[in-house]
Amino acid sequence: MSWLSTTLTSSIGRKIVMALTGLFLCTFLIVHLVGNFQLLAGDGGVKFNLYAKFMTTFPLVKALSYGLYAGFALHIIQGLMLIQSNKAARGANNYAYSKPEANSSWTSRSMGLLGMIILLFFVGHMAQFWGQMHFGTMPMVTIDGIEHKDLFKLVSEAFKQPLFVGLYVLSMVALGFHLWHGFQSAFQTLGLNHQKYSPFVEKAGYGFAVVVPIGYAIIPIIMFLS
C-alpha cells in the first residue's frame, strides 16, 4: 500500500475522511436549502423550476455535483464500515449491564443510527425527486415560451400527503441530532482544538444543527398547510 492509502485506512485517517466529507456535506446543505426556499416564492413554481433547470444543466454546477455524489458515497461507505469495525472492537461478549448515559451524550453514541435514518431518507429522496428529474417522465410547464420540467408540481403533490411530510420532518430531526454532535466532532477529528476558538465552533455547530434542519422541515409543513 502507498503511504496515502495507509494513512486513509488508519483509524485517524478514516475519521479524517468522515470529518472532511461531513463538513463538505454541511456546505451542500446550505446551498440546497437556499434553493428549496424558492418553493415558497408563491409564484406557482416559476422561480423554483428555473432554478432546478439551472442546477441540472449548467456545466459548472454539473461538475460540482459529481464531487457531491463522491462526498456522499465516501461518507456513507466509510460510515457503514466504521459502524461495523467499531462494533467488532468490543469483542464477542458485551457488558451485561452498561450505563453509557452516565458518561456520554445520546447523540454522540447514536451517530450510526442517525446516519442510517438519514441514509434511508436520502435513498427515498433521490428516487422520488432526483431520479424523476433526471431519468423519469416529468410533467411539463411552459415558462416564457420555453418548456421546463415541472419539478415544483412533483414536490407540491408529494407534500400534500401527510405521510411524506411526516417522514420528511422526522428525517430532519435525525439530521439535526447528527449535526448536533457531528459539527464540532469534525473539528476535533481534524485536530482543530483551541481554547479560544473551540467554544465558538461548538456554539456555531449547535446553531447550525438547529437552524438548517428546521429550515428544511418548515418548507413541507408550510406547503402542506397552505
Site residues, other proteins (CB under 8 A): 3, 6-7, 10-16, 82, 85-100, 102-105, 108-109, 111, 181, 185, 188-193
Q: Which is nearer to other proteins, 151 or 209 (CB)?
A: 209
**Residue 13 contacts by C-beta under 8 Å, 6 or more apart in sequence?**
6, 7
How many residues of this chain interact with ligand HEM, rule: CB under 6 A? 27
- The CA distance from 105 to 95, in Å, is 19
- The CA distance from 55 to 25, in Å, is 17
Residue 100, contacted partner among other proteins, ligand HEM, none, CB below 5-8 A by kind: other proteins
In whole angstroms, the minimum distance from the beta carbon of 199 to ligand HEM comes to 18
Q: Which is nearer to ligand HEM, 45 or 182 (CB)?
A: 182
The single residue among 38, 52, 71, 111 that binds ligand HEM, judged by CB under 6 A, is 111
Contact 118, 178 (CB under 8 A): yes
Nearest to 136 by CA among 124, 154, 119, 152: 154
- The CA distance from 21 to 47, in Å, is 30
Residue 90, contacted partner among other proteins, ligand HEM, none, CB below 5-8 A by kind: other proteins
Stretch of residues binding ligand HEM (CB under 6 A), selected from 2-10, 39-47, 75-83, 98-106: 75-83
Burial level of 180, CB count in 10 A (0-12/13-18/19+)?
buried
Residue 140, contacted partner among ligand HEM, other proteins, none, CB below 5-8 A by kind: none
**Residue 209 in contact with ligand HEM, rule: CB under 6 A:** no
Place of cell 438519514: 118
Stretch of residues binding ligand HEM (CB under 6 A), selected from 41-49, 140-148, 151-159, 185-193: 185-193
In whole angstroms, the minimum distance from the beta carbon of 111 to ligand HEM comes to 4
Within 11-40, which residues bind ligand HEM (CB under 6 A)?
A: 15, 18-19, 22-23, 25-26, 29
Place of cell 418553493: 39
CB neighbour burial string for 151-175, b if at least 16 within 10 angstroms, e if fewer: bbbbbbebbeeeebbebbbebbebb
